[in-house]
Amino acid sequence: MAAIGSLVFCTDCGNLLPATKGTEKNFLKCECCGAWNKDTGSKTILTKSKPSDFPSFLRQKLQSSVQAVERHNIQTESVVQERCPKCGRDEVKYTSVQLRSADEGSTIIFTCDCGHSWNENN
State yes or no: 33 annotated in a binding site: yes
The answer to whether 62 and 44 are in contact (CB under 8 A) is no
Query: Measured over all CA atoms, what is the biggest interatomic distance in the chain, rounded to whole angstroms?
Result: 91
State yes or no: 114 annotated in a binding site: yes
State yes or no: 13 annotated in a binding site: yes
State yes or no: 84 annotated in a binding site: yes
State yes or no: 112 annotated in a binding site: yes
State yes or no: 87 annotated in a binding site: yes
d(CA 84, CA 78): 15
Tell me the one-letter amino acid at 84.
C
- As annotated, the binding site for Zn(2+) includes 10, 13, 30, 33, 84, 87, 112, 114
Which residues are known binding-site members?
10, 13, 30, 33, 84, 87, 112, 114
